[in-house]
Amino acid sequence: MLSRLILFLIIPTLLGAFKAYWNFPSGTCRTNHSIKFEDYKIETNKNLSFYGEKVVIFYEFIFGRYPYYKGYKEDQPVNGGTPQNCSIDEHLKIAKENITERIPKEDFDGFAIIDLEEWRPIFDQNFWGLKSVSRVVFFAMMGKNLRLYLCPTSHHFRDLCYPLERNDLYLQGFPKSVISIGKEMEFKSSKRNGNSEAGRGTV
């Protein structure tokens, strides 16, 4: 009991050392709780909305044209399934529209976050269970067997290193390009507002 009391008392002090942001759409829960986030120095969007002036999160499935497999099933590709089958120009075009829609104000000074929780931009992260579909498709496109990569003693292993590195670079190009677009939009916005430097808003 004492430890809980001590923790309750020091939470405001701990939170004062950095800024915490609450992004859960809790507006509909107001009748069921009486928590005042400001008492704990937690930043929230106005009316506890999911998208607002403090923080905006873009999830990969509804942002741009990130390629993936629905349910991690090889026969259900979305946006081409893999980056090699998806137009990065189209991806950036839609992403820019999404940013403008969710952040309509040019003086936005909050945080814009790209959530890549499910989309796996690095090849080595596609090794578990159903998510290995990306590896299977990659090797099918290369015309090589998946077992060649899983067996380091194979004499073919070295032959795969270069294409694997190229694949990772191509995959990383999708989120990196969007970040560049976001920064460019932020810079232009700050210029229109008469600022010599880009604001704090981060994409």
Catalytic residues: 117
Cα Rg, the chain, nearest whole Å: 22
Q: How many Cα neighbours within 13 Å face the side chain of 198?
A: 13
Q: Give the max Cα distance, the chain.
A: 65
| Pairing state between β 55-59 and 111-115 | parallel
For residue 121, list its beta bridge partners: none
Q: What 8-state DSSP symbol labels residue 18?
A: S
Q: Are 32 and 51 in contact (CB under 8 A)?
A: no
- Length of the chain in residues, anyone? 203
Phi/psi at 26 (nearest 5 deg)?
-90, 5
Structural tokens at position 1: 């009991």
* Identity of the residue numbered 48: L
How many angstroms separate the CA atoms of 183 and 168, rounded? 23
